[in-house]
Amino acid sequence: MTELDPREKEGGRDPPDALRARRLLVPGGASPATRAAAALDRLQLGAGAWLEREIEAGRGFPWLPVLFGIGALIYFALPSEPSFAALAGLAVLLWALAVWRRQSAGAVRLLIVLAMAASGTAAMKLRTDNLATRVLERQVTGTVTGWVEDRKARRGGYRLTLRVASLDARRVTTVPQRVTVTVRGKTAPNVGDGVSVLARLRPASGPVLPGGYDFARDSYFRGIGATGFAYGAARPADIGPAPLSIRLRQPLEAVREAIRARIVAGLDGESRYIASALIIGDAGGLAEKTEDDLRLSGLAHVLSVSGLHMVLVTGVVFWSVRAGLALIPSLALRRPIKKWAAIAALLVSGFYLLISGLDVAAQRSFIMTSIVFLAVLLDRRAISMRNVALAGLLVLAITPESILSASFQMSFAATVALVAGFEILADRRRRRAEPGLVGNRSRAAAVPRQFALFVGGMAVTSLLGGLGTTPFALYHFQRMAPLSILANVAAMPLTDFLVMPFALLSVLAMPFGLEALPLWVMDWGIGGMLGVSATVSHWSGQSGGAAMPGAAALLLFVAGFVWLALWHERWRLLGLLPMLLGTALALMPARPGILVAADGKQLAIRGEDGAYRIVAGDPDRFISEIWLRSDGDGRDAREAGVVQAGGCDASGCVGLLPDGRRVALALDRSAFEEDCRRASLVVTPLAAPENCARHAAVIDRHVLARTGSIALSFAEKEESPGPAPQATVPNAPKPDSSKLDAQKPSILGADGEFVGLASGRGPSRYDLVERNADDEDVLAPEPPAAAPETTAATAPRPAVAFELRAAYPPVRRPWMPAYEAEPADQ
């Protein structure tokens, strides 16, 4: 070292930052390794500087609810149920380490990231354990006695939520705490009444297809242990006073029913149901066509009390109170009238939450709105990403399972997109503003500009909200509204200036009997909104449907979206890459060839045209519609051609794959004799005979008990002569006593078509299957006459290698139906 060498003085060396700064000055003849090291250093220093500026600007806090939500998602992704003590201990340890290493900025930030995720996982586990919802183990018919906890109007009746006092049914070992029962009729008991009803109950169903919406999980976290329908009306039952929580709700429910009665008396047609949805959160009775029009036009969000409704109502109160107080100079000049208006808005938002039925979405909206007005009371900025993050953190802390709900995801995605978008627009406007520039436009010239700004603002708001919600709408509902911007620009002024303000006025006028005029104005606005939805939905047609994207596509898009929205520096643009990748993956969804219902009574087979055909003796319309929608198929389940025409008899059905192979649906034990010999795949809700798996792939009730609904993709490979190998579906116990009967010769008509079996039973579902004189399936052109005769035992058969996706993992979680391998019975 020379004396002038700055890298060493008095036995010491420069700090790493100084060395790194010198490494950025790379000589022209430096080696590639040196250049790469310098480039890496520049990237590291730039990212570090960006991160420091983001943290100083307060952009780190919005990531806390994201990390907490990731922890909740980790809980659901775990292969088996974790221990709360272990999760809580890990979270406490990480927080303790963060406090201990608080002097090191990098270490403490990493530890906070890990601690927030661990806290989210622990909170989700605590929530699951505290609920411990008792779920009915199987479908039963019995008499349910309990107290009415909630009631909602439905087309042709009501849906009651009962707090169960007793359940009189055969072989019931687990009595749920709550059940929901649909009761027909125009009247229903009130909240708090004791009732007894004969009902058909079943546990909530799991995903209709792998990766689909899990109704059982949603019911578990709502405390619902069974659902069903009633035989006849609910009868009064003397079972004593209702629990305290129900008694506390009785006065509130009386107010809600009184409001409903006034709305029904003052309005008619669909307007009364829309008004009920906007005011008390109950749209029961709305026609199916109206719901479809609102959904296709992108206006379905008006049917649930959400942030939009809460903001409109509280905004009207806030500005009305503030404007009224501003007319009094002594108050306007000496008192904090803005804070007084915020307090009034908070009180009204609380009342709106109560009369809307305390729905989860309404609670979430109340929290978000309350934080905005609390910020006003504390002289803080009301609308900011920090307040959105605080609302999200509170909601997740109370109900961490909300992270999986479509309403939570779409609500916060839209809010984040709006706040981030208008922050960017405000920044650009500030940079373009010229100090000292004073507009000299006349009032007449300003009117068109203000109108254009209003329309443009509505369009930008709809565009930003659509950007945030469309990925979730495609994933959960397989539908987007292509003309939603047009519908919202046309309908939202009616909602903002007529419907919601006069809804508030009508409620305030009801105690005085003066609600007729506000309801009339509200009816006029609702009529205009419904006209917009009908027109736009007609223009949209069925163009908004799309196949369900995979979870990986959604996660990639959301990761990029969050990165783009929450950061403020230019590196936020890196979020566009995962968003584009997620979009590309969404355009390549999984397209299984066969779908199997969880009960084994229904199939969907993809035909040569790429569309599903439903194979079932009695198709379940609910399942069929979800299957079609998940495939981006806009057909109605009742439309001709959706359900396979023919191919069924009393004992089951058979469907043909595009390559000519057969899939059999055996609904009766008499079908196994023929199905196991002829089909490549046998699906049955029964316990299949043991020997059936030697001839075909088998999915029976034991397999379905383990997997739930199934999606199958398969490939064919040629195999040497002999019996078909066993399928690669999950194995399950089979009965030892059942054997296949000996093959019986077929009976052919004069034209060579198959008529039936020698046993004499009715026409077979194999009527349309081409077979030769030896009762063999014809998979290819028949060999020449000189070819040696083949039999069923020696004919080559295709081997089927299934790629199986199951709805449930082998290890059950608390909200999943229990599974234990047990000896099969008939």
Contact between residue 273 and residue 285 where contact means Cβ atoms under 8 Å apart: yes
Least confident range from 275-289, 397-411, 651-665, 744-758: namely 744-758
Q: Which residues pair with 162 in a beta bridge?
A: 148, 179
pLDDT > 90: what percent of the chain?
34
Contact between residue 284 and residue 155 where contact means Cβ atoms under 8 Å apart: yes
> Which DSSP state fits 203?
P
| Distance, CA of 680 to chain centre | 35
How far apart CA 596 and CA 212 sit, in angstroms, is 13
Count of C-beta atoms within a 10 Å radius of residue 724: 19
pLDDT band (50, 70, 90) for residue 824 = very low
How far apart CA 50 and CA 36 sit, in angstroms, is 21
In whole numbers, what is the pLDDT of the chain averaged over residues? 80
| Distance, CA of 811 to chain centre | 23
Reference 779, options 765, 799, 764; nearest CA is 799
pLDDT > 70: what percent of the chain?
82
**How far separated are the first and last CA of the chain, in Å rounded?**
90
How far apart CA 133 and CA 219 sit, in angstroms, is 9
How far apart CA 27 and CA 41 sit, in angstroms, is 15
pLDDT band (50, 70, 90) for residue 28 = low
pLDDT for the residue numbered 749: 32
Reference 707, options 601, 604, 596; nearest CA is 596
pLDDT for the residue numbered 453: 72
Phi-psi bin for 89: left (phi > 0), alpha (psi -120 to 50), beta? alpha
* Residue type for position 500: M
181: helix, coil or strand? strand
How far apart CA 223 and CA 177 sit, in angstroms, is 7
Count of C-beta atoms within a 10 Å radius of residue 210: 20
> Which DSSP state fits 159?
E
Given the DSSP bridges, would you call strands 178-184 and 226-230 parallel, antiparallel or unpaired? parallel
Tally of residues, the chain: 826
- Those residues with Cβ within 8 angstroms of residue 63's Cβ, 6 or more apart along the chain or in another chain: 113, 389, 566
> Which DSSP state fits 496?
I
In the chain, what is the greatest distance between 2 CA atoms, to the nearest angstrom?
Answer: 113
Mean pLDDT of 325-334: 89
Q: Which residue has the tokens 């089951």?
A: 652
How far apart CA 279 and CA 274 sit, in angstroms, is 9
Residue 7 has pLDDT above 90, yes or no: no
The helix (H) or strand (E) run that includes residue 60 is none
How far apart CA 666 and CA 282 sit, in angstroms, is 43
Reference 807, options 263, 211, 122, 395; nearest CA is 211
How far apart CA 635 and CA 254 sit, in angstroms, is 43
Residue 679 has pLDDT above 60, yes or no: yes
How far apart CA 706 and CA 804 sit, in angstroms, is 13
Residue 55 has pLDDT above 90, yes or no: no
Residue 186 has pLDDT above 90, yes or no: no
Mean pLDDT of 32-43: 76
> Which DSSP state fits 631?
B
* Residue type for position 723: P
pLDDT tens figures, 705-729:
889 999 998 655 444 444 444 444 4
How far apart CA 758 and CA 748 sit, in angstroms, is 10
Reference 489, options 273, 298, 275, 274; nearest CA is 298
Residue 144 has pLDDT above 80, yes or no: yes
How far apart CA 784 and CA 754 sit, in angstroms, is 22
Q: Which residue has the tokens 């780190």?
A: 60
Q: Which residue has the tokens 């500005």?
A: 319
The helix (H) or strand (E) run that includes residue 704 is helix 701-707
pLDDT for the residue numbered 817: 84
pLDDT tens figures, 201-247:
999 988 999 988 999 999 999 999 999 999 988 999 999 999 999 99
Q: Which residues of 81-118 are buried (b: 16+ CB within 10 A; e: fewer)?
A: ebebeebbebbeebbebbeeeeeeeeebeebbbbbbbb
How far apart CA 742 and CA 744 sit, in angstroms, is 6
Mean pLDDT of 71-94: 94
Q: Which tokens hold the place of 433?
A: 């503003």
- Those residues with Cβ within 8 angstroms of residue 782's Cβ, 6 or more apart along the chain or in another chain: 772
How far apart CA 336 and CA 639 sit, in angstroms, is 63
Q: Looking at 15-139, which runs of residues are DSSP E strands?
A: none
How far apart CA 762 and CA 649 sit, in angstroms, is 8
Work out the angle at residue 105's Cα, subtended by the Cα atoms of residues 100 and 110, and round it to the nearest 5 degrees. Answer: 80
pLDDT tens figures, 371-422:
889 988 988 887 788 888 998 999 999 999 999 998 889 888 988 988 888 8
Q: Which residues pair with 767 in a beta bridge?
A: none
How far apart CA 545 and CA 804 sit, in angstroms, is 26
Q: Which residue has the tokens 């890298």?
A: 7
Mean pLDDT of 244-257: 90
Residue 290 has pLDDT above 50, yes or no: yes
Reference 462, options 499, 493, 489, 426; nearest CA is 489
Mean pLDDT of 543-556: 86
Task: Evaluate the CA torsion angle 258, 259, 265, 269 in order and state its sign.
Answer: negative
Most confident range (mean pLDDT) of 17-21, 120-124, 788-792 is 120-124
pLDDT for the residue numbered 740: 36
Q: Which residue has the higher pLDDT, 635 or 176?
A: 176
pLDDT for the residue numbered 557: 94
CA distances from 335 to 339, 343, 375 (A): 9, 14, 18
pLDDT tens figures, 470-484:
889 889 888 877 777
pLDDT band (50, 70, 90) for residue 117 = very high
